[in-house]
Amino acid sequence: MSLTLHDHIELLSAPDPVMLVSVAAIKGSTPREVGAFMLITPTRTAGTVGGGNLEHQVTRQVRDAFADGLSEIDRAAVKRFPLGPGLGQCCGGSVEVGFHLLTDDQKAELSGALTSILDQPVSETGRWVMLPIGPQSQGNPAQLIAQANGAQTTMLASGFGTARGGVVSLNGAETLCLRLDEALTPIWIFGAGHVGQAVVQALAPLPFDVHLVDSREEYLGLPEREKFHICQSGKPEEEVVDIPSGAHVLILTHNHALDFDICRAALMRGDLGFIGMIGSQTKRARFVRRLKDRGLNPSEIGRLTCPIGIQGITGKQPVVIAASVAAQVLSVREAQRTQSQPIKSASDGIG
């Protein structure tokens, strides 16, 4: 993420005019989410609103407007792009794109906001930058919005989109909402053996906040970094109580008895997301019998996925298992996001 921010900051620091192009609203299948943005100058770009012909057309129109003295695109305009045969893209939805020509002050404000957050961790609710653009913008500098409770970012994700190109009223100023990165899905991996470490590596570039738990200190040699945290615990099963609601759990330990204790604790929570355990159908059947004996009901037991991984991949090498598991949890994440995010058009307003 920081490399992308550096590209934005460098572009904003140059004397060239900058058009900020953002996804103001979406309908149907689209290549980027609401709030995604890019910067376009007469010769350079930073960021992306989806790539392909959509981005090519947007960039061409902005550069034509620069060449024509901005006669083709207003300094603050919204245009709708259907993503069908007309653009040669097969998404099938449509994107409303906001165009905002930045003043020198706005360039400096946005550059300063991005610089200030280069080393800040990604929030579980994502990060947004709010750029005041209206006449009341004095005294309302660009700022990072990434609250732990997610209330404000949830409001932005669901209500972002007006006929003026993603502009909302914040602290009395017209403010453009820009998404820096996606919200991270927390995932707890129990077991730092060969498979556990391979899964960590597979998830590294994906939108997950990874927590690796093991009782064996010598297996926890991977360096901590953004989106990756280590927990050495003498009783890993007791760590389950502190996992946040909605987080995913992968059980990959070296000990079947420990697998069972972690599995039972996770299923009893009732508020966690995907709960997956490495093993065979025989292991699953054995665990199901033991879980019933311990008083868990069929609904609770039914939340366990074992074996883990997507169907059709049968390789047993750690990297193959990791790739399969990463694809599985990413699929679960995308399904959850599709179910939870409403589709709004810019004409719908904030609501």
Asked which of 123, 150, 182 is the last residue of a domain, the reply is 182
Per residue in 323-345, pLDDT (tens digit) is 999 999 999 988 876 654 433 33
Spatial neighbors of 278 by CB under 8 A, at least 6 apart, are 191, 195, 250, 251, 252, 306, 307, 308, 321
Per residue in 44-83, pLDDT (tens digit) is 999 888 777 888 889 999 999 998 887 667 666 788 888 7
Asked which of 182, 200, 228 is the last residue of a domain, the reply is 182
CATH code of residue 315: 3.40.50.720
User: Pseudo-torsion of CA 159, 162, 164, 166, nearest 10°?
Assistant: 20
Asked which of 182, 206, 239 is the last residue of a domain, the reply is 182
Spatial neighbors of 46 by CB under 8 A, at least 6 apart, are 4, 7, 8, 10, 11, 38, 39
Helices (H), 117-222: 151-159, 194-203
Q: State whether 209 and 152 are in the same domain.
A: no
Whether 326 is covered by a domain: the verdict is yes
Q: State whether 97 and 212 are in the same domain.
A: no
Whether 341 is covered by a domain: the verdict is no
Q: How many structural domains are present in the chain?
A: 2
Per residue in 87-127, pLDDT (tens digit) is 444 445 678 888 989 989 889 888 888 887 776 665 555 67
pTM above 0.85, yes or no: no
Structural domain span for residue 249: 185-336
Whether 348 is covered by a domain: the verdict is no
Whether 220 is covered by a domain: the verdict is yes
Q: State whether 190 and 153 are in the same domain.
A: no
> Residue 239: what pLDDT?
93
Q: State whether 263 and 314 are in the same domain.
A: yes
Q: State whether 225 and 126 are in the same domain.
A: no
> Residue 71: what pLDDT?
65
> Residue 112: what pLDDT?
85
The model's confidence at residue 2, banded by pLDDT at 50, 70 and 90, is very low
